[in-house]
Homo-oligomer: A and B are copies of this chain.
Amino acid sequence: MTQIYQDLPAAVSLVEVGPRDGWQNLAEFIPTATKVQLIDDLIACGFREIEVSSFVNPKAIPQLKDAAAVVAAIKAGPGLLTAALVPNRRGLEPALKAGVGKIVFFISASDTHNRKNLGCQQSETLTEIGMMLRELPANARYRVSISNVFGCPYEKKISFSAVEGLVRELFHRGFREITLCDTLGVATPDQVYRYSYELRQKFPSGDFGLHLHDSCGRALAGVMAGLQAGIKRFDSAAGGLGGCPFAPGAAGNLATEDLLFTLDEMGIETGIDSQKLLACARRQLRITGSGGSHMLSFSGSCNQ
């Protein structure tokens, strides 16, 4: 029994998703130059992958209408992947043209949410992203994020077999890097463990990551469950911003600073500078007036 916290991965990757998932439902438009400055500040923290925007319908998500300009302007060095979401072929060409470093496809584990979020059935999205995958240049980097893996505001609990079936379809189409998203923030830690563990067992060549929201306060517990199941890649958003506009009840992403200080104190390497990141979250809070996290409020000192 004593080994269950000793066998955790020694190092993990944090994917910063704040500029995409955190900002997308802020009512007031953040000027492009401000976005670029905030992203450049995040880059300086040491992230190797940042979701910087989405090439979606600007009427649906007006905040991200400047996706191409943002991607073109940020100072991505050789060690950094600028990732962006692409829902369909209309978004793919401008994303590739803008120089996105990693294309992020997305689909929902719940058909109802898929229709509300992507405007078509899950099966149609599967066909669409399968076609897009074949259109990508040979050296393109890509992954797929599955929304609502652990629960859905419309369909409630999502069974493991439904998730397994969808992952199998994605595997058939060539995906290996797959992020399991708790869009609503309702996953219980035992569920995160079971789904992550079983998927890693059933798809040993898969590279699974977790994207957790903190709506019910369970996101860090979910990260621990993921680590125990061998997951080594986690999404989070500086300042804990976020929430899918088409998933009622969804609250903010797991705050990067809450995740980072915890991993740091546990001796799990991320390559990210936690003090710089906290400063970024503070600056973003000042500029956008949005955000909040445990580490932004914490006035004490940690166990370091």
Please name all residues of chain B whose beta carbon is closer than 8 Å to the beta carbon of A294 when the two chains form the complex: 214-218, 251
Segment touching B, from A44-52, A255-263, A273-281: A255-263
A residues 215-260 touching B (CB-CB < 8 Å): 215-221, 223-225, 228-229, 247-251, 255, 258
Segment touching B, from A34-42, A70-78, A187-195: A187-195
Please name all residues of chain B whose beta carbon is closer than 8 Å to the beta carbon of A304 when the two chains form the complex: 156
10 contacts between A and B (CB under 8 A): A5-B189, A5-B193, A184-B300, A188-B266, A189-B221, A189-B262, A189-B266, A214-B217, A214-B294, A217-B217
Q: Are A156 and B303 in contact, with the CB atoms below 8 A?
A: yes
Quickly give the copy total for this chain. 2
The one of B188, B193, B217, B219 that contacts A303, using a Cβ cutoff of 8 Å? B188
What residues of chain A have their CB less than 8 Å away from a CB belonging to chain B? 1-2, 4-5, 8, 150-151, 153, 156-157, 184-191, 193-194, 197, 214-221, 223-225, 228-229, 247-251, 255, 258, 261-262, 265-266, 293-295, 297-304
A269 to B5, CA, bound (A): 25
Most buried by B among A2, A5, A261, A297: A5
Given contacts A188-B262, A303-B188, whether A216 and B298 have CB atoms under 8 Å apart is yes
How close is A66's CB to chain B, nearest CB, in angstroms?
30
Given contacts A299-B249, A300-B248, whether A265 and B217 have CB atoms under 8 Å apart is no
Q: Are B250 and A215 in contact, with the CB atoms below 8 A?
A: no
How close is A189's CB to chain B, nearest CB, in angstroms?
5
Q: Are B151 and A303 in contact, with the CB atoms below 8 A?
A: yes
Please name all residues of chain B whose beta carbon is closer than 8 Å to the beta carbon of A224 when the two chains form the complex: 189, 221, 224-225
Please name all residues of chain B whose beta carbon is closer than 8 Å to the beta carbon of A156 when the two chains form the complex: 301, 303-304
Q: Are A301 and B266 in contact, with the CB atoms below 8 A?
A: no
Please name all residues of chain B whose beta carbon is closer than 8 Å to the beta carbon of A215 when the two chains form the complex: 294, 298, 300
A120 to B161, CA, bound (A): 59
Q: Are A217 and B220 in contact, with the CB atoms below 8 A?
A: yes
How close is A171's CB to chain B, nearest CB, in angstroms?
22
How close is A242's CB to chain B, nearest CB, in angstroms?
14
A297 to B250, CA, bound (A): 11
Q: Are B153 and A301 in contact, with the CB atoms below 8 A?
A: yes
A193 to B249, CA, bound (A): 32
The one of B219, B251, B299 that contacts A298, using a Cβ cutoff of 8 Å? B251
The one of B150, B194, B217, B300 that contacts A5, using a Cβ cutoff of 8 Å? B194
Q: Are B251 and A188 in contact, with the CB atoms below 8 A?
A: no
Closest to A219 in B: B217
A182 to B293, CA, bound (A): 19
